[in-house]
């Protein structure tokens, strides 16, 4: 795997355009241009899109610019790895065969330069996620997906846009964030004890890195308020902030 290795998650590129969305995307694309310049490998650990549902003969046109930017990265030799999140699970061969070099539908393990990584989007791993785990089983069920593909794309994306607007709550109280961090620390410890050097997760919209028993937990933040990313240079993994650290 080529160095350096970059990790991002939770850009939540929106279905509807707005000035705020345009500015967010431009910052993300500036980061992509930086990655294209340095070369290496890019992992996107879920929720790149606020909603993505691919039909056999239809892909969403509102994401045309992101397709272009990702193809540009590939043309520069950057290896693109995509892990689906809870907003962009429903892909077909455009995502898996054309846009990305490798696509993951679940947590995965990577070894880079002698370091062992456990990578997860992070949804459904907290102790109070039981209700969500049931929902996740339903919306990822092949029968549900097959039925939804019979819905006309215009209607399907209108439904998704309505749901998305109802669910845009990415800022949480300090108490909630501390509870999440405590649970993620407990989640990380067994992996570190079993030889992993790093656990990297998205989903929680916290930008945090913490040493745990000689290893590290890295929560990637997002590209909504933090514009943060993980950076592995072959020796160390660190959390960086675009336009702050560059």
Other C-beta atoms lying within 10 Å of the C-beta of residue 156: 19
CB atoms within 10 A of CB 168: 11
Q: In angstroms, what CA-CA distances link 143 with 89, 139, 147, 185?
A: 14, 9, 6, 35
Distance from chain centroid for Cα 84: 7
Strands (DSSP E) contained in the chain are 5-8, 41-45, 79-83, 102-104, 108-112, 115-120, 198-201, 207-212, 215-220, 228-232, 237-241
The more confidently predicted of residues 22 and 160 is 22
Cβ neighbours, 10 Å, residue 118: 22
CB 88 within 8 A of CB 49: yes
Predicted local confidence at residue 166, as pLDDT: 54
Per-residue model confidence (pLDDT) at position 148: 82
Q: Which fold has domain 5-241?
A: Purple Acid Phosphatase; chain A, domain 2 (3.60.21)
What was the pLDDT predicted at 29?
A: 96
CB of 54 within 8 A of CB of 61?
A: no
Cβ atoms within 10 A of the Cβ of 200, count?
A: 25
Q: What is the pTM of this model?
A: 0.91
Angle formed at CA 241 by CA 106 and CA 53, multiple of 5 degrees: 35
Domain boundaries, the chain: 5-241
The pLDDT tens digits for 23-78 are: 999 999 999 999 999 999 999 998 999 888 888 888 888 889 999 999 999 999 99
């Amino acid at each position: 795997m080529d160095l350096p290795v970059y990790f991002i998650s939770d850009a939540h590129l929106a279905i509807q355009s707005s000035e705020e969305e345009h500015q967010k995307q431009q910052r993300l694309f500036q980061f992509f241009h930086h990655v294209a310049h340095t070369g290496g490998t890019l992992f996107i650990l879920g929720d790149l899109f606020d909603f993505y549902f691919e039909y056999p003969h239809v892909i969403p046109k509102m994401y045309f610019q992101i397709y272009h930017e990702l193809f540009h990265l590939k043309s520069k030799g950057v290896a693109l790895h995509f892990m689906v999140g809870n907003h962009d699970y429903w892909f077909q061969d455009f995502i898996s065969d054309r846009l990305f070099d490798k696509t993951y539908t679940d947590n995965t393990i990577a070894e880079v330069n002698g370091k062992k990584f456990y990578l997860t989007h992070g949804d459904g791993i907290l102790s109070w996620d039981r209700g969500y785990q049931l929902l996740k089983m339903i919306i990822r069920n092949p029968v549900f997906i097959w039925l939804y593909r019979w819905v006309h794309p215009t209607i399907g994306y209108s439904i998704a846009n309505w749901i998305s607007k109802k669910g845009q709550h990415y800022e949480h109280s300090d108490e909630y964030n501390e509870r999440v961090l405590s649970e993620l620390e407990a989640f990380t410890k067994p992996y570190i004890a079993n030889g992993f050097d790093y656990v990297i997760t998205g989903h929680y919209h916290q930008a945090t890195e913490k040493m745990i028993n000689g290893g590290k937990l890295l929560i990637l933040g997002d590209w909504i308020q933090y514009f943060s990313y993980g950076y592995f240079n072959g020796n160390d993994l660190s959390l960086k902030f675009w336009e702050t650290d560059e």
